[in-house]
Copies of this chain bind each other. A is one copy, B any other.
Amino acid sequence: MNTAELVDLAQQLRVDSVRASAAAGSGHPTSSMSAADVMAVLLAHHLRYDFDRPAHPGNDRLILSKGHASPLLYSAYKAAGAIDDGELVTFRKLGSRLEGHPTPRRLPWVETATGSLGQGLPVGVGVALAGKRLDRAGYRVWVICGDSELAEGSVWEAAEHAAFEHLDNLTAVVDVNRLGQRGPTRHGHDLDAYARRFQAFGWHTIQVDGHDVDAVDRALGEARSTTGQPTAVLARTLKGKGVASVEDREGLHGKPLPDAEEAVAELGGRRDRRVRAHEPSATRTLHSVPTGRLEAPRWEKGEEVATRDAYGEALAALGGARADVVALDGEVGDSTRAEFFAEEHPDRYFECYIAEQQMVAAAVGFATRGWVPYAATFAAFLTRAHDFVRMAAVSGAGVNLVGSHAGVAVGQDGPSQMGLEDLAMMRSVYGSTVLYPCDANQTARLVATMAGLDGVRYLRTSRGEAPVLYGPDEEFPVGGSKVLRSGPHDRLTVVAAGVTVHEALAAADVLEGEGIAIRVVDLYSVKPVDRETLRRAAEETGCLLTVEDHHEEGGIGDAVLDAFTDGRPVPRLVRLAVRTMPGSASPDQQLHAAGIDAASIAAAGKLLVEEAVVR
């Protein structure tokens, strides 16, 4: 396209952004208008993308990190012929694919859900990493960022990671329109301020008038030809560009234009320009996935093994069987045992240093390209990435997250290192699976099983050693549980998982000595939960005692309730959980102080079978 045609395309994108927002009665047209020239030039001259084949392995990847500018993205899809005008004006309506913020659940051309700012670039880094280190399919990753979102620390985790990995297949275009939601950004139109920051982190930077299509064209070309480092194109723009009544004005964020018809006229009226993006280069399939026989690690019953060790060994074995498995870690691979994978498969291991948001974002990026990522850190520190986990669910991304050092059983390190909220966090994620093994063979099985599930999968591992309870050939279906003790005279069911399974078994021995038979259920699948077994246990034993190394809210006690919220009779319940703020102490002392050790279980169980009220 020549200059005039590019300008005309950009105006069309503005017109359609205004129209879509007007039809919806809400949306962010002014945030779309600032970036319209960038989008027009990118679409017409630089993006290599086959809109008929969004799964084409050679397609470039376009991420609109400022997801609220979705009208611009959808207008671009229309110009590319991917959607028609009738669909464009369904924007933000019930049932429409064109949501307020774009999601890949609905639209095949969207790489990752955005709308929580500061996430597009970190995910883009993951995609670019996959492209450069694994796929090698020649695609580029283009991320359009807002200026406001550069205040998010996650952007600088991404900047650091991208430069360190020399991701020259990654370009961030920052739409510096000077205005955030409620007013001016910190740096306004000071492009130098942004350039200094990106340069300091090792990026190539280009400053450009974002409304000069030829200048933008040259900048994107320069980005493509820059090697050895990622490029940030800093585009000076005006919010609401093209319509005088809204251009560069405060107080208009997230609002349709006051008079859409007049605005369309001012922008030169409707037009129906089509643009065909460059073809992606022919390429082999993204990655072959030779799946071999899994030589899973095996342990004998009674061996003392930490589940984190089992995770590391099982993942290393899985990586041997499946060529699509990758591992990430937040600079604690010697603790999570992800290092076992790193030693065997260094080419598929990604050190994320202490940047948990970037780690989870990179995992999402790998997942978008068909890889099966396992990302691990301490369970406590996964809370750092909560918003990324939440958005992974909105994306429908298949990621495996592993939190080690769960609960007070960590011991001496104290509360800052103890995951005591992770089950609540992970259970509340849409469509998630939450697994919490108590022994090494169970861990190994679940690690392999996770790979084939949908959505966000979470595995909780423990620091300390524990005896192996199950044989190496035992199976552990997701949504199942294991009844470890049971008999015809059980008067109580103790439901435990992870470290408390061992305490529950010890408590069962104690109570047996006192003539009280109890059932013990190992609830390794915390979500989905084994409703059938829990209901049967309730019917047969009359009451349930849950015990967990987690705060009392949102964990195993609440998960068990899930079996009884359909109006059926509910058994009497007692919940043992961590209710105090731990200090430093040995693991055994911690379990005792928290009231979740064998002695506490036995005492509470005894009270419960005696039908007393316990609290």
Residue A339, interface by CB 8 Å: yes
A162: shortest Cβ distance to chain B, in Å?
Answer: 12
A193: shortest Cβ distance to chain B, in Å?
Answer: 8
Q: Which of A542-577 contact B (CB under 8 A)?
A: 543, 551-555, 557-559, 561-562, 564-575
Q: How many residues of A contact B (CB 8 A)?
A: 119
- Identity of the chain B residue whose Cβ is nearest the Cβ of A555 in the assembled complex: B428
A47: shortest Cβ distance to chain B, in Å?
Answer: 24
* Contact mask for chain A residues 281-321; partner B; CB cutoff 8 A; 1 contact, 0 none: 00000000000000000000000000000000000000000
Contact of A96 with B583 in the complex, beta carbons under 8 Å: yes
Residue A354, interface by CB 8 Å: yes
Contact of B572 with A611 in the complex, beta carbons under 8 Å: no
Query: In the assembled complex, which residues on chain B have CB atoms less than 8 Å from the CB atom of A355?
Result: 151-153
When A568-B613, A573-B570, A574-B565 are in contact, do A584 and B105 touch as well, CB less than 8 Å?
Answer: no
Residue A277, interface by CB 8 Å: no
A565's partner among B201, B417, B573 (CB-CB below 8 A) is B573
* Contact mask for chain A residues 167-198; partner B; CB cutoff 8 A; 1 contact, 0 none: 00000000000001110011000000000110
Contact of A117 with B354 in the complex, beta carbons under 8 Å: yes
Residue A427, interface by CB 8 Å: yes
A509: shortest Cβ distance to chain B, in Å?
Answer: 22
Contact of A416 with B186 in the complex, beta carbons under 8 Å: no
| Segment from A30-38, A132-140, A222-230, A377-385 that makes contact with B | A377-385
| Segment from A81-89, A266-274, A418-426, A442-450 that makes contact with B | A418-426
- Identity of the chain B residue whose Cβ is nearest the Cβ of A118 in the assembled complex: B354
When A101-B413, A417-B100 are in contact, do A152 and B148 touch as well, CB less than 8 Å?
Answer: no
A412's partner among B92, B114, B565 (CB-CB below 8 A) is B92
What is the bound-complex CA distance between A391 and B384, given in angstroms? 11
A574's partner among B200, B358, B566 (CB-CB below 8 A) is B566
Q: Which has the most chain B C-beta neighbours within 10 Å: A24, A331, A552?
A: A331
Query: In the assembled complex, which residues on chain B have CB atoms less than 8 Å from the CB atom of A152?
Result: 153, 157, 354-355, 384
A62: shortest Cβ distance to chain B, in Å?
Answer: 18
What is the bound-complex CA distance between A56 and B353, given in angstroms? 39
Contact of B421 with A428 in the complex, beta carbons under 8 Å: yes
Residue A607, interface by CB 8 Å: yes
Residue A249, interface by CB 8 Å: no
Contact of A553 with B100 in the complex, beta carbons under 8 Å: no
Q: Which of A485-544 contact B (CB under 8 A)?
A: 527, 543
Residue A461, interface by CB 8 Å: no
A425's partner among B92, B151, B425 (CB-CB below 8 A) is B425
Residue A581, interface by CB 8 Å: yes
Contact of A94 with B586 in the complex, beta carbons under 8 Å: yes
Query: In the assembled complex, which residues on chain B have CB atoms less than 8 Å from the CB atom of A384?
Result: 116, 152, 386-387
Contact of B358 with A153 in the complex, beta carbons under 8 Å: yes
Query: In the assembled complex, which residues on chain B have CB atoms less than 8 Å from the CB atom of A607?
Result: 567
Contact of B572 with A415 in the complex, beta carbons under 8 Å: no
A571's partner among B67, B101, B527, B570 (CB-CB below 8 A) is B570
Residue A394, interface by CB 8 Å: yes
Query: In the assembled complex, which residues on chain B have CB atoms less than 8 Å from the CB atom of A154?
Result: 153
* Contact mask for chain A residues 381-400; partner B; CB cutoff 8 A; 1 contact, 0 none: 10110110011011000000
Contact of B148 with A92 in the complex, beta carbons under 8 Å: no
When A152-B354, A424-B425, A425-B424 are in contact, do A564 and B573 touch as well, CB less than 8 Å?
Answer: yes
* Contact mask for chain A residues 310-336; partner B; CB cutoff 8 A; 1 contact, 0 none: 000000000000000000000111110
Residue A160, interface by CB 8 Å: yes
A558's partner among B354, B561, B614 (CB-CB below 8 A) is B561
A353's partner among B113, B148, B334, B584 (CB-CB below 8 A) is B148
Given contacts A114-B416, A558-B561, 13 further A-B contacts (CB under 8 A): A94-B586, A94-B593, A99-B584, A105-B581, A113-B415, A153-B154, A253-B334, A381-B387, A386-B425, A565-B573, A566-B574, A568-B572, A570-B571
Interface CB pairs A-B, < 8 A, 18: A93-B585, A94-B584, A100-B416, A103-B414, A115-B416, A116-B384, A117-B354, A118-B354, A153-B156, A182-B339, A185-B353, A381-B387, A383-B387, A431-B581, A552-B562, A561-B573, A566-B574, A567-B612
A-B residue pairs, 7 tightest by C-beta = A153-B153, A115-B416, A554-B554, A200-B200, A424-B428, A570-B570, A94-B585
